[in-house]
Amino acid sequence: MNRRGFGCALCALAALAAMRAAGGQTSPEFVRPGHRPPPDTDEGGLWSVMDRAERDLRTSRFVVRDRALNAYLREVVCRLGKDHCPDLRLYVVRTPQFNASMAPNGMMQVWTGLLLRCVDEAQLAAILGHEMGHYLRRHSLERFRDARDKSNFGAFLSLGLAVAGAGIAGVIANLALLASTFAYSREQEHEADRIGLELMASAGYARIAAAEVWEQLIAELAAGTVERSQNVLLATHPDPEERLGALRAAAARAGGAEERGIERYRAGLAGVREQIVRDELSLRQYGRSEVVFDRLLAQAPGDGLLWYGKGEVYRLRAESGDPARAMEAYARALETRAAPPDTHRSIVMVELKQGNKERAQAALDAYLKAKPEAPDAGALRMLLEQ
């Protein structure tokens, strides 16, 4: 399918939904472009809460303000959202976890841990498209009304608080809680998946990317040291395994354009990738980080930053055999001729720990050549003189 228009994709979806509604099922209604609910309605109330949360978010020190990145992400949002693009605002939040969320007022969040884990624009589009699905069908409002009607508001809130408690950055977790407005139902998830795939198709993206994203997350959780219950995205998006099958089947039926956008994605993230890799390492969850770097390296074996990250996993973990693994990864990083200068610094540390002073000195020389203004030059020299 070409980029003919989200409008048409929506027509088809709306028609489909209308048929279902005729059968007594879901309502066909999508949010209209430019929609703003009257303030004296429940929806208006929900929006005003989200507007307040968004004002806080806008000034948060966790928001990544890299211009090139934000301009790039805006393009992807508009390519998917088309007529709805002016109603959507995407914030990149510096948190090394896999999460994205969409508030009913059009405030979207993508956490940097998610950006690290996508291999290309199609995978990012799969997530954004899914989140837009929640927005277009007003799923948060549905959940809100459902909870209220069941006089279940206390449980609704405490569910949200449980999600907040799981986050690693309290403030951001609270925002995420507000923004995602609690767990969606299984039906809503399936609907968001379907709409996301339609948006992807309409924008010309490879739909198989939607299944890949969940496969990757499941693999990471299986290898990692973190409980599933602590994953914020899973807390609001239950049953990924169940949805995988449907997503794969839908992709298999897909035709038309199959764009991946690997190069565009890498270029868009260029200004923040090193920081994102460091943030991932700062969690010291080596099992999952190893899975992430290995997977990304399988796609991009010439990526010096990723080899450096993999080396850091082993250096920091420092279990039996890890120093050798770290050195091997650093060597691969240096081979790419695109390794961060800190690769040399890490080699200094590993060699010193092994008692190889001469090699540590050589690595220090290389480090200072690559980073003449290194603020830790003096400290490293002292370490070597001991």
Q: By C-beta, is 214 or 293 nearer to Zn ion?
A: 214
| Whole-angstrom distance, CA of residue 111 vs CA of residue 177 | 13
Q: By C-beta, is 29 or 187 nearer to Zn ion?
A: 187
Q: By C-beta, is 237 or 310 nearer to Zn ion?
A: 237
Q: How far is the CB of 119 from Zn ion (least distance, A)?
A: 21
Q: How far is the CB of 361 from Zn ion (least distance, A)?
A: 53
Q: How far is the CB of 269 from Zn ion (least distance, A)?
A: 23
Q: By C-beta, is 132 or 192 nearer to Zn ion?
A: 192
Q: How far is the CB of 109 from Zn ion (least distance, A)?
A: 13
Q: By C-beta, is 138 or 237 nearer to Zn ion?
A: 237
Q: How far is the CB of 366 from Zn ion (least distance, A)?
A: 47
Q: By C-beta, is 104 or 304 nearer to Zn ion?
A: 104
Q: By C-beta, is 145 or 359 nearer to Zn ion?
A: 145
Q: How far is the CB of 131 from Zn ion (least distance, A)?
A: 7
Q: How far is the CB of 374 from Zn ion (least distance, A)?
A: 44
What are the structure tokens assigned to 327, written together?
């050195």
Q: Which residues bind Zn ion (CB under 5 A)?
A: 192, 237
